[in-house]
Structures are given as structure tokens and as C-alpha cells.
Amino acid sequence: MNELAISIKNIRKSFKIYKDKPVSMKEKFLKLRSNEYTNFEALSNVTLEIKKGETIGLIGHNGCGKSTLLKLISKILYPDSGSIDVDGRISSLIELGAGFHPDFTGRENIYMNGSIFGLSNKEIDGKIDEIIRFSELEQFIENPVRTYSSGMYMRLAFSVAINVNPEILLIDEILSVGDSNFQKKCYDKIEGFKNNGATIVIVAHDLGTIEKICDRVIWMDKGRIVAQGEADYIVNLYTQYMNEKFVERKQKEHVNKVEQLEVEIPKNTSVENNETLNDEFPEDIRWGNKEVEITKARMLNKKNEETDTIMAGEAISIEIDYKVNKTQDEYIFGIGFYTGDKMLVYGNNTEIDRLKLTEIDEKGTVIFEIPNCNLLSGNYKLNVAIVDKNHRALDFIKYYMDFTVVSNDKAVGVHSIDHAWKVK
């Protein structure tokens, strides 16, 4: 007995990406546009075996080849090379509503779409009441589908596809159909297929759903399989990778923004001794007598790069550039972290940490180092301040900058705590 539902061996699939594709016969005939193109390899040497009764999740960023692979399995597309063997009746929730005619009623389209899935009229007769009931479109079923909203259209298409009772179910990013109650019905139906031994291959960006439903997860990137294995392990691996990529992208954006601001500084502006222009803050955000002034503050990542996006668990530092306009008996530097909705998370200063500063240079930098940032994912705000020995504000800037933390810890709240569970 064959235990494999789907056997994929060394498949390749590429598409032609035209630089200036003709959009009409006239343009093509007169060569008004170029026929130059490049080959985009959507899948490259993909080999995969899926056992009967398995629920497989395909994850990866847009354009990695997930949907192309499903379309090859369902024979919507064909590979350039390699082979795909399928053992079982397939229902594809990919191009929902493909084959629907806008002028036909919902009922007529059920029969037409059902025949596309290989059902006879007699089989559809036995299922049509359940299809209509599942779609929740009873009062609209005799209306032409061109009068349906996009949600109604998709619900009807989903209901037809899901009631075919397939041996193999292919699902591509369509679990957001309808409202929350309808979505729950969809999940329950899929769970029923799984419990009855159907093979399911699902593409979704909702990693929580993938982790909950799937027995095994395939991580794809640039048309290749990067890793596969237990759902929780692969989802965590992929999440960490995507978090790192997100931080890298945000870091590049921040660098570009800083460079652009530097270009926009007027040429007649004097910037000396690492002193930069201050942003203007309203009085309710910035106050103090400016006897000691904050000229700039910045957050640095573990690579010593100025940033506004941090990977949790890594070292960061906060640098406060200052200028002394009037000598003080003592200088107290402080920082504070607030949530996006302005609730205090953490605050500290040199006095609390028993660092007594009575003599400092006229201009300089004070650094607050954090060897391991343990904030959870979220958007935060940074306060920076200088006060004298009587806690009189010299320069206090509330919400100096916004920053983002990306954490692999799935706990909720604002702070990650080292811990362990034990059962006695």
C-alpha cells in the first residue's frame, strides 16, 4: 500500500519577467515594446514527500515559492522539470471562485464549480443544502453572483471547495474569509478533515495557525527548502530569522534617515566637537534652565551603530552628549523607558547607581550600557535628563525618541524574565 499522498522529486519552475511586455496585438505586431525578459526561478530542485494523513504547513516570505508549489501539486501549473505524483482526490482552496460566472445565480455556480472539482450532478444534489447552509447565503442563493459582495463571493466559493470531501486538501492564504464566526467554522471543518485522515497542505502567514494545525512545517526561501521538521521548532526558527531581517531592514532605514537629515542641515550651520543641532521640543516635553544642556542622545546596537530598532537579548547603549554652560556642584544623568502609551517601564540615573559626578568636561558624552536588553516586543519611548544635586532640572527631555524592540520571547507584557517551570 502506498503511504505517500504526494511525492515531489527535483522540480523546477521558472517564469519569464518581461521588461516591457506588449499589452495588445498592435503593440506586439509593430514591436512598440521590447520582448526582453529575465527568468525568475520560482522553484529550484525541490524534493518533498508528504505522507497520507499528514498536515503540512508551508511558510516563508512572499515570493519564496509556496503558492507556486501548491499550484503545481494541483496541476494549475506544470513544472519545467522533475515530477509530482499525487495519490488521492484533490480539492484546492487556492483560486477561490475560479470558474464562477457573474451572471449565474449562486446555486447555478455551485453546480458549475462542483463539476470543476469532479463531482457529478447527483453528488452535488446530495451536498447542495450543506454547501448553502455552510456559506450562510440562503437568502441570496438565487441572486446572480455579480450582486454579491467580495466576502459573500469568497464564502460561497470556500463552501463549495470545502464540501467536496477530498482526500488531499490544498489551502493557500484563504482562512481570512468572512467574519470571526465563519472563520471558526472553516477551522472546525479543516480539523474534521484532519481527524478523518485527509492529507492537508496549507500556506499561511499566520504562524500561530500553522503551529496549531500542522504536524510538520516546511520553511521555503528563494524557491528552495531551507528547513523542515516539527511545527514549533521550524516556526521558532523562522520567526527568529524574520525578526533579525526586520531589525536589519529597520536599521538601514534609520541610517538612511540620519544621513538625509545630515544632508539637509543648512551649510551655514556650525557643527563642532561632535555637537549636532537639537530638535525643537515643546515646553511640556522639554524643560530645565539649560545650565547644562543635552546636545544629542542616541541609541547604539551591539555593532555600535546608531539605531531605533533593537533585537531583544542583545547589548545596547544610550549615549548622551552634553555641554556645560554653567558649572555645577554635581551632575546627575538619567534615562527612562516608557511604553508606546507612555507608561513608565524603567528609570535610572547616576545617583541611584552611586556614580557621583562632581567634575566633568565642558563637553562630553555619558554612556548608559545594557549588556542584555530584556524588553519584550513593542514600541517604546526614551527619556534623557540632566539634574543637579537638588534634582533641579538642568535639561530634561521627555520622549526624546521612539524605538522598537523585537523579541523572540512569546511572553506578554513589557519585560522578559529568566525562569523555569517545574512539576513536583
CATH number of the CATH domain containing 212 = 3.40.50.300
pLDDT of the residue at 253: 86
Tell me the per-residue pLDDT of 328-369, one tens digit each, with 9 for 90 and over: 999 999 999 999 999 999 999 999 999 999 999 999 999 999
398 near 383, Cβ under 8 Å?
yes
Tell me the per-residue pLDDT of 48-72, one tens digit each, with 9 for 90 and over: 999 999 999 999 988 899 989 999 9
pLDDT of the residue at 34: 59
The CA distances from residue 259 to 71, 194, 300, 302, in Å, are 44, 54, 16, 20
Do 302 and 394 reside in the same domain of the chain? yes
Sheet holding 316-324, edge to edge: 292-300, 316-324, 363-370
pLDDT exceeds cutoff 60 at 149: yes
Q: Is the dihedral of CA 284, 288, 289, 292 positive or negative?
A: negative
Do 299 and 204 reside in the same domain of the chain? no
Do 308 and 373 reside in the same domain of the chain? yes
**Residue 248 domain-assigned (yes or no):** no
Do 85 and 186 reside in the same domain of the chain? yes
Tell me the per-residue pLDDT of 154-170, one tens digit each, with 9 for 90 and over: 888 888 877 877 789 88
201 near 73, Cβ under 8 Å?
yes
Tell me the per-residue pLDDT of 178-231, one tens digit each, with 9 for 90 and over: 567 777 777 888 888 888 889 999 988 888 888 888 999 999 999 999 999 999
Q: What is the CATH number of the domain that holds 290?
A: 2.70.50.60
Domain containing 357 equals 276-406
**Residue 420 domain-assigned (yes or no):** no
Q: Which of 10-19, 239-248, 369-378, 399-408 has the lowest mean pLDDT?
A: 10-19
Do 238 and 282 reside in the same domain of the chain? no
pLDDT exceeds cutoff 90 at 257: no
Do 226 and 340 reside in the same domain of the chain? no
Q: How many domains does the chain have?
A: 2
**Residue 293 domain-assigned (yes or no):** yes
**Residue 340 domain-assigned (yes or no):** yes
Residue at a domain's end among 220, 242, 264: 242
pLDDT of the residue at 376: 95
**Residue 382 domain-assigned (yes or no):** yes
Do 363 and 303 reside in the same domain of the chain? yes
Do 76 and 194 reside in the same domain of the chain? yes
pLDDT of the residue at 286: 93
Q: Which of 141-145, 232-236, 257-261 has the lowest mean pLDDT?
A: 257-261
Do 182 and 322 reside in the same domain of the chain? no
Do 206 and 354 reside in the same domain of the chain? no
Do 200 and 306 reside in the same domain of the chain? no
**Residue 65 domain-assigned (yes or no):** yes
Do 84 and 227 reside in the same domain of the chain? yes
**Residue 423 domain-assigned (yes or no):** no
**Residue 356 domain-assigned (yes or no):** yes
